[in-house]
Copies of this chain bind each other. A is one copy, B any other.
């Protein structure tokens, strides 16, 4: 990253301290119990001064869809997805333990009692802290989503090439 020539006066550890100051999270899942670690790790990374990027792809992209948006495409897949109400982050399901629909409510309630921020709050916090939120262009195309269907504060939609290039010299997690 640094483009200056190596000089003898620079200690090795100075160099190494910057070796992993980047964090890239590939947010693949849209389940509440995965979105939480996605957001907690990203905001923690930003708080630590790491250059942090979340790349939202597949089911993870639903976290970025506006709450008042229903996906209403014209092909089969889009119609099936359209049957799911409210894809936005406040309506996430819990992957592992749904308790007949009560799980997310309970977990949010519990988190509130213990002063853990909700995914929606953490997503806003991530935007405020300068975390780069990048939606996957391919997933947007597959689901028939446009920029105006997504929340504000996002970076340019991108693909796997950008994602892997960002991941050079970063801590990279597929969640």
Measuring CB to CB, which residues of chain A are less than 8 angstroms from any residue of chain B? 1-13, 15-16, 19-20, 23, 26, 28, 33-34, 36-37, 40-41, 44-45, 47-48, 50, 57-59, 75-78, 80, 96-97, 99, 102-103, 106-107, 109-111, 113-114, 116, 138, 141-142, 159-161, 163-165, 167-175
A80:B58 contact, CB within 8 angstroms: no
A161:B44 contact, CB within 8 angstroms: yes
Given known A77-B107, A161-B48, A169-B19, contact A33–B58 (CB-CB < 8 A): yes
Given B3, B102, B106, B114, which contacts A11 in the complex, CB threshold below 8 Å? Answer: B3
A12:B15 contact, CB within 8 angstroms: yes
Which of A4, A37, A59, A161 has its CB near the most chain B CB atoms (within 10 A)? Answer: A37
**Interchain residue pairs A-B with the least CB separation, the first 9:** A44-B160, A77-B110, A20-B168, A173-B174, A3-B13, A76-B106, A77-B106, A5-B11, A6-B12
B76:A44 contact, CB within 8 angstroms: no
| Distance of A47 Cα from B164 Cα, bound (Å) | 11
| Distance of A78 Cα from B77 Cα, bound (Å) | 34
Work out how many copies of this chain go into the complex: 3
| Distance of A147 Cα from B57 Cα, bound (Å) | 34
Given known A6-B11, A12-B15, contact A99–B114 (CB-CB < 8 A): no
A44-B164, A75-B109 are known; give 17 further A-B pairs, CB within 8 A.
Answer: A2-B13, A5-B12, A7-B8, A8-B8, A12-B15, A41-B163, A44-B160, A44-B161, A59-B96, A75-B110, A80-B106, A110-B142, A164-B171, A168-B171, A170-B171, A172-B172, A174-B174
| Distance of A11 Cα from B7 Cα, bound (Å) | 9
